[in-house]
Chains A and B, each alone.
Chain A
Amino acid sequence: MAAGCIPAVNLINQAGGVLGHKLECVVADTRGDPADAVPAASQLLATQSNLVGILGPSSDEADATAPIFNDSKMTMMGDTGAASFDQNAYPYFWRLTPADDVKGTAMAIWGRQKGFSHAAAVFGNDIGSQTDVPTLVKAFTKLGGTIVSNESLALDQGDYRTEVARMLATNPDVLFIEADAQTEATFLANLKDLHGLIPVIGTSLDQAMYQAVGGAIGAQNMHDFYTTIRPLIGSLGTSTKTYDQALLASGSQVPKPDQWISDPFCPAHYDEVNLLALSMIAANSTTPSTYNSYIPQVANPGSGKTLVYSFDEGQKALAAGKQIQYVGASGFIDFNKFNNSTTGFEAFQFQLDGSTVSLGTIPIDEITQANS
């Protein structure tokens, strides 16, 4: 999160800040479970007098803390994929990152488009992974496929031969997988040893995944068998380049900033800070209860709006009296009535050098239809 927040704040402060105020990123540890997060959230609100917005809450504790922030009229940019927010009713909760259950549907669509009909679903037993499963199963079945095996993996075990053998007994022609890098690497290495690889559809593009899985099954196999489904990035003008430059320039504040270049969530956090800042300027107020309703005004498409690709461009356009649409480093933003923004998904293939190439896109309309 810091790899998105700090570059954004640096650029905003270089451009003069927000209504004369300098911004700062402050870390608040919610300790990752609902019971600990409630006092953490209320302590944050009580002790940070100049709090103007929140990046988070995240998956583990969002259901417990989002009501607290909402009741306190504090704008939050949720970092949770939890399906409980798909029809979010909290006006102060916004989500740029796609819901995990939407991702499950996107995986199912891609699998069916490639002609697979008998799929194994192998997901880690963590919250983020498990929320993909119901919609993956539902959509894959609805599209005419069959989920022949559904395994929940205890993370970071040294061996998954039992689970692999159980899965192979069902003769799947494709494997849907999501877990942490080490778990996926071990599972796929066991699969390679016991049977040989089958096509794999995963969800991670980051270098940790490439190094772990590529190291376990070989870069050539990673290239040949492994496809990743990620939120659509598309053509973004200068936003991505601006973010990448700002990230690399913040090396004194963000350890090893280059490791976050291909992470899809960091640009989203960068965009979230820019959105907060631009909506404050549009509302002429840093008070969340005032600027909160301006967020879709500076983000969503609309006729006559000026496209802006950075905070600086945005504030200049607003100063000139123009209506703006901020196009982020994470993609186009279009909040629906539930304050969720999802613009589709994209399939990627790892190359031998660890870079990725796009294989195609899955439009949001198609996902919505399959999810209905």
Chain B
Amino acid sequence: MSIAWQFYISSILVYLGVDVMACWGLNLQFGVTGIMNFAYIVFQAAGAYTAAILTLGPSSRSLFQHYIGGANLPFPIPIIAAGAVGALLSLVVGTFTLRRLRVDYQAMVMLIVSLIAINVATNQVDLVNGSAGLSLVPKPLSQVLNLDLVNYQWFYVALTAVVCVIVFLFVHQVTRSPLGRTLRAIRDNEHSAAALGKNVTRFRLLAFVLGGAIAGVSGAILVEFIGTWAPGSWTYAETFVLFTAIIVGGTGNNLGVAVGALLVPVVFLEATRFLPPIGYPGLIDALQWVAVGLLALLFLWRWPRGVIPERRRRFRKPAPG
């Protein structure tokens, strides 16, 4: 296989890992708990900016980019910090949005949060360097490993896979535990769950924070790979790609969600790059958003439980007496 193809395939595998992680985090919120988080990409972006800032060093060292904070922390601290910031931001946003609002109003508020966040990041230039974003983020361990380009790519694929496994074990543990059963009960009928003594808001907030932490980690893995992050990378429409992946793969099912992340952001969107150019430059790019929307609608209409539906859990009847 040529070096160029190895480079391309390894890049796609890293993106797949990032998308799978992001979908698991969103699935924890939406698929398992029923929270319509249309601002999910914001938490991924917060993680990406955090990792970038904690890797780049102080802003004063840079001639062309300005941001708050700045440190030169070794791997994997920036990635862990990204997860922490994702969780913290989720806690703040969730505290305000999950407390009193109905689910449909929560969705509206989340969409607004997404729009506000991108406008703040773009216009408050000293925050994260405005629309130009952050760039020249050093790749983790590249100085230590001293690998050539392609071998570093494969190293990063392995690193992403390891983080994916950790995230999977975490979400799997959550969803199969009593906590997962509680979250599903809240999703299916919050009044019944509340009647059984469950604090619905607190459990929702917990799922929201855990999903936000995973989003932050996924953003960190992505930014440390591509070395740059700007508002153009996290427009609100990106969230809908992740929602579509979950709907297509199988809402509430971690394995299905991983398949959805493979089918939608990777196979479905990547395939459009191989189409011959038609119309004006950018037409295919614009049409892909339409196609993603139609795909989500098609699955909601024809196969609402996705390619790999959530397993219906059966419990033994308690023994009489």
Contact = CB atoms under 8 A, between A and B. Distances in A.
Nearest to A37: B226
Nearest to B232: A33
Interface string B1-34: 0111101100110010000000000000000000
B226 A38 contact: yes
A83 interface: yes
A61 B226 CA distance: 10
Interface in B87-108: none
A46 B64 contact: no
A101 B64 contact: yes
B11 A82 contact: no
A134 B233 CA distance: 23
Contacts of B285: 29, 31-32
Interface in A88-141: 101, 125-127, 130-131, 133-134
B222 interface: yes
A79 to B, nearest CB: 13
A35 B226 contact: yes
Interface stretch (A62-70, A186-194, A307-315): A62-70
A366 interface: no
A355 interface: no
B65 to A, nearest CB: 7
Nearest to A1: B281
A32 B281 CA distance: 11
Contacts of B302: none
B214 to A, nearest CB: 18
B76 interface: no
A72 B11 CA distance: 14
Contacts of B222: 35
B229 interface: yes
B270 A39 contact: yes
Contacts of B225: 38
Contacts of A64: 135, 226-228
Nearest to A59: B132
A152 interface: yes
B59 to A, nearest CB: 12
A190 to B, nearest CB: 18
Interface string B231-256: 01101000000000000000000000
A84 B230 contact: no
Interface stretch (B67-75, B117-125, B191-199): B117-125
A42 interface: yes
A47 B66 CA distance: 37
Given A35-B222, A46-B4, A40 B273 contact: yes
B178 interface: no
Nearest to B277: A27
Given A29-B285, A84-B136, A86-B64, A39 B15 contact: yes
A154 B123 contact: yes
Given A29-B277, A130-B131, A134-B64, A34 B229 contact: yes
A45 interface: yes
Given A60-B232, A72-B4, A29 B284 contact: yes
Interface in A128-182: 130-131, 133-134, 152, 154
B233 A34 contact: yes
Contacts of B64: 82-84, 86, 101, 131, 134
A24 interface: no
B131 A127 contact: yes
B153 to A, nearest CB: 9
A42 B135 CA distance: 19
A71 interface: yes
A131 B160 CA distance: 33
Nearest to B282: A29
Interface residues of A, number: 39
Nearest to A31: B285
Nearest to B18: A35
A64 B227 CA distance: 6
A50 to B, nearest CB: 12
B63 interface: yes
Contact of B4 (A34, A42, A87): A42
Given A33-B233, A64-B226, A46 B2 contact: yes
A43 interface: yes
B166 interface: no
Given A27-B277, A40-B273, A125-B122, A45 B7 contact: yes
B147 to A, nearest CB: 12
Contacts of B136: 63, 84
Contacts of B7: 42, 45-46, 68, 72
A29 B149 contact: no
Interface string A281-325: 000000000000000000000000000000000000000000000
A127 B230 contact: yes
Contact of A46 (B5, B133, B135, B284): B5
Contact of B135 (A32, A84, A154): A84
A10 B4 CA distance: 29
A35 B15 CA distance: 9
Contacts of A152: 123, 125, 130
A130 B125 contact: yes
A45 B8 contact: yes
A243 to B, nearest CB: 21
B284 to A, nearest CB: 7
A61 B230 CA distance: 9
Contact of B63 (A29, A45, A71, A83): A83
Interface string B132-172: 11011000000000000100000000000000000000000
Interface of B: 2-5, 7-8, 11-12, 15, 63-66, 119, 122-123, 125, 130-133, 135-136, 149, 222, 225-230, 232-233, 235, 270, 273-274, 277, 281-282, 284-285
17 contacts: A27-B277, A27-B281, A29-B277, A31-B282, A39-B12, A42-B7, A46-B7, A63-B228, A64-B228, A72-B7, A72-B149, A84-B65, A125-B131, A127-B230, A133-B125, A134-B64, A154-B122
Given A32-B232, A131-B64, 18 more contacts: A27-B277, A29-B277, A31-B282, A35-B226, A39-B273, A43-B273, A46-B4, A46-B5, A63-B227, A72-B149, A82-B64, A83-B63, A84-B136, A130-B125, A130-B132, A134-B64, A152-B123, A154-B122
